[in-house]
Structure 1
Amino acid sequence: MNYIIRILFSIVTVFILAGCMQQHTDRSMKEHAGKEVSAAAKEQITTQSKEEWMKIDAIKQPSASAITYELSKSNESFTAPFPRKYQDINGILTFRAGPFRNNAYTGSTIIKEESLMNNWAFQTSSSPKWGGGGGWVGQPSVIAWKAKEKEIMNLYPEYKSKKNFREVVFASLDGRVYFLDLETGKATRKPIHIKNPIKGSVALDPRGYPLLYVGQGVPHTGEIGYRIYSLIDGSLLSFIPGEDPYAYRKWGAFDGSPLIHKEEDAMIIAGENGIVYSIKLNTEYIPSEGKISINPAISKYRYKQEGNDYQGVENSIAVYKNLAYFADNGGGIQAIDLIKNEPVWANAPYDDTDATLVVSNEENTPFLYTGSQIDKQGAAGYARIQKINGLNGKIEWEKKLPGFSLLGERPVNGGVLGTPVVGEGALEGQVIYNISRYKSFNGGLLISFDTKTGEEKWRWEMDDYSWSSTVAVYTENDKAYLVQGDSAGNLYLLNHNGNIADKINLGTNIEASPIVIDQSIVIATRGGQLFSIRMK
């Protein structure tokens, strides 16, 4: 009798444990994307739930000796890798949504008619030299605030109680940061005016704290640098001057978008002055009193590389665990161990690389996808596309595609300026690049490569080039689409083979990068407008 009871007890225990494990996996899936996640993402979360997300004890490569580097006296290093789950709140909070910088899509999408239609348009003001709307990279953010933050922030009253409210946050060339209702495009609070054109992308805090991070692209008036604001009352909490005596380069712009380490209350960003900043924020947030403050402690990493006189960083740093990756205006590519505060490897410069590197976790090894501009090469040259092992800098495969660039006092470059996207689902095994000024001065190319071999899978030769990053959209019936803007103002919806499903013209150059939330594409143009386009 005791033997039978023990067997029954064992069976019940197994079922209870199995149920707990399933609940944990389901909860992880919901936390990952808020609404729906693709089959590939579900598989990734389930797999990662079974492994420890530990720091990488990276082996310093001989190539790192080509870099001479120094750290500022204030040495605030990270003590742990970036967490596997970047954010605690739903939304797209930084350029390309997180540390891997791979896409700008969230929610769930149903596409039946494969068509695009205007939903709303918002008109910005204009700065004297740069106009309004969005420039490169100009990606908006979107966030679903929690109730306590809505209550204490300076939102207009109707949005404090609005159900399913999501706020679009967008930085414009007119020097203002705008706040809009995703559903209607109407202003949700007063804009923040930094009085200097903003070319980059804003960031919001992954903890859901009411903090805004925004860089400056042009020194129109006042100081040039990076700013952190309170979104409780719109006040400036901190300013990081870009014109830093510690920098080797004196250009002080920030086009990159930071990453916030939520567990360490810290951020990382690189500037066009060639400094990588590791910043302990020392945040004090008291929601019950409607107060937030920061007291940044800043560590600076500066470097020199043989054959590279252009240390400025315009892309957004990508991170895998404790390894940070970036490229610079000279075309050098680096990996830094954020815990050891030292370079792991550095690849030799080729040509200006402004597009953000994308990280792909392939069998627990980080691989990088990157592409260069045609700039230092002159009026004609080759955009170099590479897949790189993120642990040691080894080139897995490389391709070169011809193109053109405009020289002179106001150069306009060709090559890779949009950030590539590594596919999943119906796009599994593909990495898709956007090449500007391909074949002809105004032409472009959207091209897909096999991630393992580098062999071409398909191409779409564009009549008009593009600097805007490609976004992949995954539908509830496991289909995949691509969203792509171009310099003639066309916004395209393409299927997974690169064939045009539909297009809509927004009037002027789409230089900025879009985000996609459920059925909506939010995208800015150089014509001074921010649009919401609905996919049907």
Structure 2
Amino acid sequence: MNKKIIIIIIVFAILNFNKVKLSLLKYEDTSKEITNDLFLSDNLIDKINKHKSLRDFKIVSSKPVKPIELPDKNPDNLNLSVSKKGEVIGNYLSPLEIFPKIYTKIDGILTFRGDNLRNSINLSVSNIKDKKLNIRWSNKTSNSTWGGGSGWTGQACVIKWPDEIKKLMNIKGIFKNETTFTEVIYGSLDGKIYFYDLETGEKSRPSIDIKNPIKGSVALDPRGYPLLYVGQGIPEKGKFGYRIFNLINQKLLYFINGRDPLAYRGWGAFDGSPLINRKTDSMLIGGENGIFYNVKLNTDFKPLDKTISIKPEILKLRYKIDNNNYQGIENSIATYKNLCYFADNGGAIICLDLITMKPKWVWYGKTADDTNASITLEVINDTPYLYTGTEQDKQGKNGFTYIRKINGLNGNILWERKFKCLNRVVKDKITNKIKSSNGGLYATNIIGSKDISNLVIFTLAGYNHPYKGIMLAIDKSSGKTKWKWEMPYYSWSSPIAFYDTKDKSYIIQCDFHGNVTLLEGMSGKVLDKINLGNNIESSPIIYEDKIIVGVRGNRIYCLDIK
């Protein structure tokens, strides 16, 4: 029998009889394209695609993603080690640990700022006409020592579950049969994770209670698997660390203890939102204990049996930089291909090769300071450019906030700006002691697109006054200010851009006074404002002209963009 016919028969059998594979393909790849992992010739691919029995599927040519190859640079002032099961690994190599160009093919916003570049937070084109904001619904949360609602960074996830997955989970029956059902998942300072129908605000399933305040942003699996990833910000009652939940039955699958004896720092919080590589079944996250985690999940998902399990294998990267005693990764890591970027509480920025787990460069300059806002990446001609900035923390009363653009291949600073930002005096919620609350950059920036493709937009807290702020539209190339909006109230909440059918840009900015402000992207002109009554620290998301955001006052809101 002709070899080509045999191969066609084999492919046909795989597609028609491996039911689990078919099920996974349907929701992991909504275009029903199958990557040519068998290295078939283009001519044979064309014949298979024309076969009438395979009309619902299409095989596409697959060119392997090439990693970025850079020389290792381990500075003399950096002490770094990688360990697995308590043993230090001398040489680590994982050639396939490269992030795909597209983070997810699932409809939704599944991690902080949308993807591995941390700059893809808005997916849909807006039909904005009246340039007005209205409250669609709101839901009350319970309380903890730290209050309720949501805190910093507190971004929600939103997902339109594939039908095959939706029917497996404990979602209310009324929503399982709705083809348009979209679920909002939100972690709260009350220690619970809430599940809502985007359209109505009705609870779509019971909440999950981890019994510890959740400050950071939850994440969902980019493969569409029923997995929920959630950290916590404060130890109150439950264990202190990171959790992965089974969303078929909402049971805990795995727990990473943040109080790790390996860590140089004892604080076990996880405020960052992870990245999951859908090609390699791995999770990346930084801990405030100063450890970078590279977790092989070993996911076993059996849709027909309605089961999912994981058996994580954890690589832990521990590091120490001379004269930097502030270990702690509070931001959400960013990646491009095999390069991973994160900053720490001392202001050091590290570029890590995920294939070797070795540093490609480390920046720790004179203007370094606590960096909590996530690094964002813009890729031009295979070169990632970093946009980042600092708080005003370690410099004393007369310090500055610095924002900068960095070449992601070598760590060279392309431009840097400094701004006077002041700290506030506040009372600690637990100890009642007076302490300083830092000014500067908490909000993750916007990398502009469409009509603001030349701009990067930063929001700073405490600009020239402890309770005020400023939004700055900075030219990407020169670093010069194109426009600014001096805000009457400071903000930790990340701004978000969206675009209409004519590529005109708009910006949403929330603040500590409870305002949600709509601005014109090109000019910074204020178009509308609505007040939600309480401090908004969390970062909003926009999905189908709906804004989801929580406030410190025990509420989660959905707003309509009109």
The TM-score, its normalising length taken from structure 2, stands at 0.85
Q: What pairs with 1:189-338 in structure 2 (closer than 5 Å)?
A: 189-338=205-354
Where does residue 101 of structure 2 map in the other structure?
84
**Matched AA of 1:70:** S
What SS does the aligned partner of 2:166 have? Answer: helix
CA contact (8 A) 1:126 1:174 kept: yes
Where does residue 166 of structure 1 map in the other structure?
182
Distance 1:77 1:253 in 2: 29
1:458 lines up with 2:483 in the alignment: yes
Distance 1:53 1:361 in 2: 15
Distance 1:318 1:150 in 2: 29
**Matched AA of 1:494:** L
**Aligned match for 1:112, one of 126, 129, 135:** 129
Q: What pairs with 1:132-211 in structure 2 (closer than 5 Å)?
A: 132-211=148-227
Provide, for residues 115-152 of structure 1, a one-character-per-residue CA deviation record: whole Å limited to 9, x for no partner: 1111111111111x111000000000001101111111
Where does residue 43 of structure 1 map in the other structure?
none
Distance 2:528 2:62 in 1: 41
What SS does the aligned partner of 2:70 have? Answer: coil
**Aligned match for 2:374, one of 356, 375, 392:** 356
What SS does the aligned partner of 1:105 have? Answer: coil
Where does residue 53 of structure 1 map in the other structure?
65
Structure 2 gaps, min length 5:
1-28, 32-60, 426-432
1:441 lines up with 2:458 in the alignment: no
**Matched AA of 1:358:** T
Distance 2:527 2:136 in 1: 18
Provide, for residues 394-429 of structure 1, a one-character-per-residue CA deviation record: whole Å limited to 9, x for no partner: 000000010111367543111000000110101111
TM-aligned CA deviation for residue 313 of structure 1: 0.6
Provide, for residues 458-504 of structure 1, a one-character-per-residue CA deviation record: whole Å limited to 9, x for no partner: 00000000000010101112111001001100001100111101010
What SS does the aligned partner of 1:483 have? Answer: strand
Where does residue 441 of structure 2 map in the other structure?
416
Distance change >3 Å, CA 153–CA 390, structure 1 → 2: same
TM-aligned CA deviation for residue 51 of structure 1: 8.5
Provide, for residues 277-317 of structure 1, a one-character-per-residue CA deviation record: whole Å limited to 9, x for no partner: 00000000001111000000000000000110011010000
Where does residue 417 of structure 2 map in the other structure?
399
Where does residue 68 of structure 1 map in the other structure?
79
**Aligned match for 1:428, one of 453, 471, 474:** 453
Distance change >3 Å, CA 150–CA 296, structure 1 → 2: same
1:532 lines up with 2:558 in the alignment: yes
Distance 2:511 2:336 in 1: 31
**Aligned match for 1:491, one of 508, 513, 516:** 516
Distance change >3 Å, CA 453–CA 52, structure 1 → 2: farther
What SS does the aligned partner of 1:110 have? Answer: coil
TM-aligned CA deviation for residue 162 of structure 1: 1.0
Instruction: State the superposition RMSD in angstroms.
Output: 1.7
CA contact (8 A) 1:66 1:346 kept: no
- Structure 1 range deviating more: 414-423 or 68-77: 68-77
**Aligned match for 2:506, one of 459, 474, 481:** 481
What SS does the aligned partner of 2:301 have? Answer: strand
TM-aligned CA deviation for residue 160 of structure 1: 0.6
Identity of aligned residues (%): 47
Distance change >3 Å, CA 510–CA 120, structure 1 → 2: same
Distance 1:412 1:122 in 2: 29
TM-aligned CA deviation for residue 257 of structure 1: 0.4
Structure 1 gaps, min length 5:
1-28, 32-48
**Aligned match for 1:502, one of 528, 546, 550:** 528
- Structure 1 range deviating more: 117-126 or 101-110: 101-110
What SS does the aligned partner of 2:335 have? Answer: strand
Distance change >3 Å, CA 61–CA 72, structure 1 → 2: closer
**Matched AA of 2:464:** K
CA contact (8 A) 1:380 1:405 kept: no
What SS does the aligned partner of 2:400 have? Answer: strand
**Matched AA of 2:286:** A
Where does residue 513 of structure 1 map in the other structure?
539
Where does residue 18 of structure 2 map in the other structure?
none
Provide, for residues 177-218 of structure 1, a one-character-per-residue CA deviation record: whole Å limited to 9, x for no partner: 000001111100000000000000000000000000000110
Distance 2:122 2:531 in 1: 21
Distance 1:162 1:83 in 2: 31
What SS does the aligned partner of 2:451 have? Answer: helix
TM-aligned CA deviation for residue 108 of structure 1: 2.3
CA contact (8 A) 1:378 1:405 kept: no
Distance 1:459 1:353 in 2: 22
Paired residues, what number?
A: 489
CA contact (8 A) 1:383 1:400 kept: yes
**Matched AA of 1:60:** D
CA contact (8 A) 2:140 2:149 kept: yes
Divergent runs of 4+, >4 A:
49-52, 74-78
